Amino acid sequence: MLKVLESYEIGSAIIGNLKQSKTKCVLVSGYIKPWGHLKEALGSAIKRGVDTAIYVREPEEKDSQKLKEIGQELQELNVALFTVQNLHAKIYLFDDKKVMVGSMNLYDYSQANSIDFQIEVDDSETISAVNKFINENVIPKAKLINRKTSFVKKLAGTVANKVVTTVLNSVFSQPAYCIRCRKEIPDDINKPLCDNCYGSWAKFKNQEFKEKYCLGCGKEYKTTYAKPYCPSCYKEWNR
Ligand SMILES: [Zn+2]
Ligand SMILES: [Zn+2]
């Protein structure tokens, strides 16, 4: 089956496919500004246990705040939003059964005004080629926008599909630093010390004891076990 979708049909086809999906939705779009029905469909897919991930182009400095806000909105729906440098592809993949490829971004203005073209295909050869493209070119370069620890943990606890977990693993594997000796450790706000330093800290368990480094960036900063991040890392992690 090959369906040609015109501008006015694309948005609703995306929503329709999202609503029918059962296992996973991978949405690759240059730009994003989700409209109401899209957010609704994304939220309900997540509630049904569908692994849903959105990949968009890494924004220029001037647009990064806007994208963070969108990341925040999506986080409230438990949808993971990732950025990828120079991404310009528009691919919407549903359950490895259907794929839409074309020109439309997940952008409310385009949805309403642009002249776009998208084709929808369900043949397995195309779908495996698309998967290969995504696995090789998109996922390895993806960065999760909202890295708030509790959100990442919640995602990791809910998603089963490797599309999302692969990226989450890469988020987890980004280095952090022991706040006492600056040794590289996993980034976990609840474990800001390496095993060695934890051993000596545990003798007194003084949560306010002044340490030397920031857990997130490793820069010198008077952190504590209770507050292991420097102000800028804290802002990043706890928005
Ligand atoms: Zn240490
Ligand atoms: Zn820092």
**Which pLDDT belongs to residue 72?**
84
CA 197 – ligand 1 centroid, Å: 4
Among residues 147, 172, 197, the one where a domain terminates is 172
Q: What residues have CB less than 8 Å from 65, skipping those under 6 apart?
A: none
CA 238 – ligand 2 centroid, Å: 12
Share of the chain above pLDDT 90, in %: 58
Indicate the helix (H) or strand (E) that contains 119. Answer: strand 117-121
CA 212 – ligand 2 centroid, Å: 11
Per-position b or e across 174-208, b if 16+ CB within 10 A of its CB = eebbbbbebbebebebebbbbeebeeebeeeeeee
In this prediction the pTM is 0.70
Q: How far apart are CA 86 and CA 29, in angstroms?
A: 11
Domain limits for position 180:
175-239
Considering the domain architecture, whether residues 228 and 124 belong to the same structural domain is answered as no
Among residues 124, 146, 172, the one where a domain terminates is 172
CA 149 – ligand 2 centroid, Å: 15
Considering the domain architecture, whether residues 47 and 151 belong to the same structural domain is answered as yes
Q: Which of 106, 114, 141, 124 is nearest to 15 (CA)?
A: 106
DSSP letters, 45-68, are HHHTT-EEEEEEEPPPGGGHHHHH
Considering the domain architecture, whether residues 20 and 77 belong to the same structural domain is answered as yes
Indicate the helix (H) or strand (E) that contains 18. Answer: helix 7-20
**Which pLDDT belongs to residue 227?**
92
CA 107 – ligand 2 centroid, Å: 33
**Which pLDDT belongs to residue 65?**
86
CA 187 – ligand 2 centroid, Å: 12
CA 170 – ligand 1 centroid, Å: 22
